[in-house]
Structure 1
Amino acid sequence: MGRGWKRISWSASASTTPPNSRRSWARSDSRSRPGSAITGAGHPALQLPARSCLPGGPRDAPAHALLDPGTGTPVNLHIQTLSGTHLVRQYLAGEPSALAFYPGGHPGDPAAYRAKAEEVRGRFDQESRERLTRMLTGGGENGQSRLRRFVEEGGLAVTTGQQPGLFGGPLFSLYKALTAAALARWLEEDLGVPVIPVFWVASEDHDWEEVRRVSLPDMANDLVTLELPDRPGAGELPLHRMPMGPEGPEALEALLALLPDTEFRPDLEADLRAAYREGATLPSAFAELLRRHLAMAGVFILSPEHPEAQAAALPVLLAEARGARERADALARRAGELEAAGYHSQVTILEGGANLFLEGAQGRDRLFVEPSAQGSGRGTGKGEGNGEGGGAAEGPPLRMRREGRVLTQEALAGEAGRDPALLSPGVLLRPVVESTLVPTLAYVAGPGEIAYLAQTAPVFAAHGIRPPVVHPRLSAAVVESRVEKVLRKFGLELADLSRPHHEVVGRVIRDDLPPEVREAMGKLKGAIALGSKELQKAVRQVDPTLAGPVDHVRNQGFSLLDDLEKKVVQARKRESGIAVQQIEKAQVQLFPGGTPQERVFPAVYYLVRYGPELMSRWMDAARGAVLPGRSPGGEGGDEPGHDRGQGPGHDLEAEPAGPTGS
């Protein structure tokens, strides 16, 4: 499993307390001290702009630093650039060639949101907004009054989402939600109407393997992975159909055994116990924990298995079924256009594949256009456009990939009509379903989602919907004082720790070699280079063909010198065991297993230590991540460890990418 990892699987018979995993932390002085807690990696403290339209109103008081409960010293939040594939980087930089694949416009352009608002107002009325409010939970203490305003004043929404993760999943899920809340408040002031943030819990996802585990450091700073056991139906049934047995609460006890005793623990433990109880599903537990975590940010939660959501989505799903062949052709053309422009498709387009899943005898099964129907029985297009008219119209018969059963359009409509939960969207249709249920202005996405949303324009167009603006999520790292101390001690930047452990240690050791050793090595390298150059010049007068052997001797000399340098470094490493351990511990905190912290650790790991004040700092950071009004390109660039694609069912990354599994 890699350096410093442990794996613990929990079943009904498992012991629930990992050995040597529990220590009591003395409560620290909880008073805040002046000083910024938000910095950019390798840069001085970032002063976030005051924005009265964002959560909490104007920032008219100085920022306060979080305190490390072990040392009483400040904890920093390092803001990072969200990067991704070549397409994602160019989109965020405002390059026209990339923007052509995002009809919603650039996230830094206020006009893009205003244009989308006009389109949404033409599709949503008071009744559709009232229907949405019945599907939502959460929103904090003023949630109901905000929803009343949303209905009465023609409100809009910023959405984001993620497949459910054990104990809240990785930090980036929280960062998505907080970015959506910050953007919603910015847009509310700009547009003059209520704009609510909505988090879509992808409960229809069936990737049990992706969501059943979580990793975090124990008190010895070893990375521990807690995982629920495999089970019948895993990977086949939608997650919302898989209630947890006693293994759920037992895994929770294992998590609690890894968390320190702090003043914030009782409330956090109560939240976790309320969510992860026997009989709950992973999606319902995830939604409940998010609802509690995000109350102060005013985020609403939407689970698509809600009966009204399923009923409202059904006309769109049946319209997609009728146009399955045309959609497959359009998506294949889109993939070709991306390739021709120098990009690649994030989601592989399967020949004849429909953007639909039907639950059958073998679980959630992908639908395909029946091969025998290729080139015949083309859909009439009835019911397409706005998704209205859910009756069965002409269209190709569809085949279930695993089960092999073939359904006519009438048969599919009949099954889905009897139980709408059986039919669900694929990754490229889900954003369209969301935009049908929610008056979405913008979607807050991770890098993998930004990449695959470039493929969705043909699907939106077929249903008569303008795609929302795609806005990047916050990317950040919590850097505790002990880790900050290691960075300063060895002259390292945050991104340096993304490199393999042996490379980081080797660099630090080389930099720490006695000056006389480095000077002597440098002189010897210079002497070999100069001497071989002079010798080569001299031997050419004797025989020009001797230049090659001289090159060989020079290269051998450099190679032997490199070997010697490695031996010197190894000898120094043996004398520098403490430094090696310190670097290793810092890497576990910032890049566990070589993956950015935000894609591994759950929020509870930090909330139990720093409480609501950390949530306030994350909200501050999300305010600074809001892009409208900024010039394109201000957020562009690469970050080591971030240039990874993320396919459906896999954020990150590979980070699970959004509601498909972002």
Structure 2
Amino acid sequence: MPTDCISYSETNYFSNLILDYLSQKSELREFYQHFPSLENFELQISEKEQNYDQSIRKDLVNVLEEQYSNIEVSDLTKQNFELLRSENTYTITTGHQLNLFTGPLYFLYKIVSTINLAGRLKDKYPNKNFVPVYWMATEDHDFAEINYFNLHGKKFNWNSNDKRAGEGAVGTLSTEGLDEVYKLFAAEIGGGENADYLKEIFKKAYLEHDKLSDATRFIADKLFGKYGLVILDAQHPSLKKHFSDQVKNELFEKVSHKSTSGTVERLNEKGYNIQVNPREINLFYLTDDYRERIIEKDGNFYVHEKEIFWTKDEILKELKDHPERFSPNVMLRPLYQEVILPNLCYIGGGGELAYWLELKSYFDTEKITFPILLLRNSALIQTEKQNKKREKLDISIPELFLKQHELINRKVRKISNIDIDFSPQKEHLVAQFQGMYELAEQTDPTFLGAVKAQEVKQLKGLENLEKRLLKAQKRKLKDEVERIANLQNELFPNKSLQERQDNFSEYYAEYGQGLIEKLIQNLDPLESNFKILTFGQE
């Protein structure tokens, strides 16, 4: 399969923070431990080995086996369960929300990056074992972020009847009502072997499982089980009990807020946008019906907007008896992950890495090893036909990523038989007015303002004329302009990156399991560039 690539900076879709991290700018060096390279994993392994509580492995495997009890587990995933019992086994982890039918296409890229990095590390360090893990964000309560997916430009929305939607943890939500979405999906995806398989996956996941977490695990396992992916729901008392010490520190010492506030301030001073601002207590209280913030007032602890409160001794007892009810928010979830997993690396998107970079001082305070942070692979999928169209239109790969008006203006100027660039005329005009400024200064300085006004007026006139000529030329080249716009609209739905909009099913229906196999073959997690993948007609 033909591939091409451009730098992340050329895409114009990544923040300065992420671009500077990828460039290993000195301004960011204090905010992470090791930059992702095969050689640096040797240091990471050594640090994690000394820091990880090996006794957690038994509970981790027991929880996984319990959660997979109703799934036909692949041989490689079973093997990875057993490997996790061993002290020379480490994890490579990505996390994702429980988006309906996986949500945007980059869900696949995250997991492929994780699987591939585990393989690369096994080749480099054959005496160690590396297990790819998908951490399901089952404790999130933002239902509006996960209840839809896009297919063929249409939005498929799930209107849940579960009264806890938007209030409680999404992992426990009932899948009731998804039969209606299935009918719409089945009609849209059409027929054929691949489409029929997608319909089967959707139906078995959502119509034969009662909870959203179980349905999501089923889908992810169907797609990636053969590659040994381990899927974890960490909302379990056997795992949460190992996080109790950190929860106590959060409740009574407000450790995350104290340790990250300075980091947030320094990142701000360096000109970076802050992804997450820490609260004083970054914990929720989680029940079957709701997930609400815990706040402290006058030495007692309250559940926000609920008639529930504890004294210090009472909340300690609650934590001991029900550790699963204490749910970390986005600031604490990374620490929880690194406490319970023998993890070396977290793989995420730009937004995720942005908030991870706020956390190193918190990890240092809690004496937990900070993982290597790796930007997930990004890619644009195009067909051979689309690639030939691009070449015929003489559009380079970097030009393809321009804003549409910039791309069209550039191409119209290039293919036009007249020069619609008045830059030389503007420069000549500015030079002429420079002489007028000097003359006015020598005669009567009060005329400087009048000269300036005239200069602005004439420059504005040239700009308007340039725009009118360009507009006229666009009309003259209407067919060419439409072909350029149509191609870009196909590849950048809603004027955004394809991976952030389209659902995988649109491509799976066309290419089947070959889609995932080719992603596995072509996405190198340690190759810091944006891939363009050209698929032929299967």
**TM-score when scaled to structure 1?**
0.70
Q: Secondary structure at the match of 1:304?
A: coil
Q: Measure the CA separation in 2 of the matches of 1:597 and 1:93.
A: 25
Please list, as runs of the form range in 1=range in 2, the aligned pairs for 1:278-317 lying within 5 A after superposition.
280-306=210-236, 308-310=238-240, 312-313=241-242, 315-316=244-245
Deviation string for 1:221-240 (max 9, x for gaps)?
Answer: xx222212265333211102
| Structure 1 portions without partners, runs of 5+ | 1-35, 43-77, 218-222, 374-396, 628-634, 640-662
The Cα of 1:181 is off from its aligned counterpart by: 1.1
Q: Measure the CA separation in 2 of the matches of 1:560 and 1:130.
A: 72
- Aligned residues of 2:10 and 2:398 also touching (Cα < 8 A): no
Q: Measure the CA separation in 2 of the matches of 1:136 and 1:463.
A: 29
Q: Measure the CA separation in 1 of the matches of 2:215 and 2:479.
A: 41
1:369 pairs, out of 278, 293, 296, with: 296
1:481 maps to which residue? 384
Correspondence 1:443 to 2:372? no
Correspondence 1:469 to 2:396? no
1:183 pairs, out of 117, 122, 137, with: 117
1:148 maps to which residue? 82
| Structure 2 portions without partners, runs of 5+ | 532-538
Deviates more, 1:419-428 or 1:235-244: 419-428
Deviation string for 1:88-133 (max 9, x for gaps)?
Answer: 3333323344221223x11122333232342256645763554354
Q: Measure the CA separation in 1 of the matches of 2:392 and 2:467.
A: 23
The Cα of 1:307 is off from its aligned counterpart by: 5.5
- Aligned residues of 1:175 and 1:473 also touching (Cα < 8 A): yes
2:536 maps to which residue? none
Paired-residue identity, % = 23
Correspondence 1:600 to 2:535? no
1:657 maps to which residue? none
- Aligned residues of 1:398 and 1:407 also touching (Cα < 8 A): yes
Correspondence 1:170 to 2:71? no
The Cα of 1:481 is off from its aligned counterpart by: 3.2
Correspondence 1:626 to 2:530? no
Deviation string for 1:305-361 (max 9, x for gaps)?
Answer: 356444x456356434544434432232333344455545421123xx312110369
- Aligned residue type for 2:525: A
- Aligned residues of 1:166 and 1:212 also touching (Cα < 8 A): yes
The Cα of 1:443 is off from its aligned counterpart by: 1.1
Q: Measure the CA separation in 2 of the matches of 1:243 and 1:250.
A: 14
1:356 maps to which residue? 283
Decide whether aligned partners of structure 1 residues 493 and 230 sit closer, same or farther in structure 2, where only a CA change above 3 A counts: farther
1:644 maps to which residue? none
Decide whether aligned partners of structure 1 residues 288 and 129 sit closer, same or farther in structure 2, where only a CA change above 3 A counts: closer
How many aligned positions are there? 524
Correspondence 1:566 to 2:451? no
CA RMSD of aligned residues (A): 3.4
1:655 maps to which residue? none
Decide whether aligned partners of structure 1 residues 300 and 79 sit closer, same or farther in structure 2, where only a CA change above 3 A counts: farther
Decide whether aligned partners of structure 1 residues 325 and 407 sit closer, same or farther in structure 2, where only a CA change above 3 A counts: same
Deviates more, 1:299-308 or 1:167-176: 299-308
Correspondence 1:40 to 2:5? yes
Deviates more, 1:295-304 or 1:135-144: 135-144
- Aligned residues of 1:164 and 1:282 also touching (Cα < 8 A): yes
Decide whether aligned partners of structure 1 residues 530 and 194 sit closer, same or farther in structure 2, where only a CA change above 3 A counts: closer
- Aligned residues of 1:85 and 1:451 also touching (Cα < 8 A): no
Q: Secondary structure at the match of 1:264?
A: helix
Decide whether aligned partners of structure 1 residues 117 and 124 sit closer, same or farther in structure 2, where only a CA change above 3 A counts: farther
1:157 maps to which residue? 91
2:409 pairs, out of 503, 506, 520, with: 506
Q: Measure the CA separation in 2 of the matches of 1:343 and 1:531.
A: 42
Q: Measure the CA separation in 1 of the matches of 2:448 and 2:390.
A: 47
The Cα of 1:473 is off from its aligned counterpart by: 0.9
Deviation string for 1:128-152 (max 9, x for gaps)?
Answer: 5543542564874422133324425
- Aligned residues of 1:81 and 1:475 also touching (Cα < 8 A): no
Q: Secondary structure at the match of 2:380?
A: strand
Deviates more, 1:485-494 or 1:587-596: 485-494
1:586 pairs, out of 483, 487, 490, with: 487
Decide whether aligned partners of structure 1 residues 278 and 613 sit closer, same or farther in structure 2, where only a CA change above 3 A counts: closer
The Cα of 1:544 is off from its aligned counterpart by: 6.2
Q: Secondary structure at the match of 2:109?
A: helix
2:189 maps to which residue? 259
- Aligned residues of 2:160 and 2:176 also touching (Cα < 8 A): no
1:244 maps to which residue? 175
Decide whether aligned partners of structure 1 residues 605 and 307 sit closer, same or farther in structure 2, where only a CA change above 3 A counts: farther
Q: Secondary structure at the match of 1:294?
A: helix
Q: Secondary structure at the match of 1:159?
A: strand
Q: Measure the CA separation in 1 of the matches of 2:475 and 2:496.
A: 27
Correspondence 1:196 to 2:125? no
The Cα of 1:171 is off from its aligned counterpart by: 1.8
Q: Measure the CA separation in 1 of the matches of 2:2 and 2:400.
A: 21
- Aligned residues of 2:104 and 2:504 also touching (Cα < 8 A): yes
Deviation string for 1:191-216 (max 9, x for gaps)?
Answer: 31221000001011000111112223
**TM-score when scaled to structure 2?**
0.85
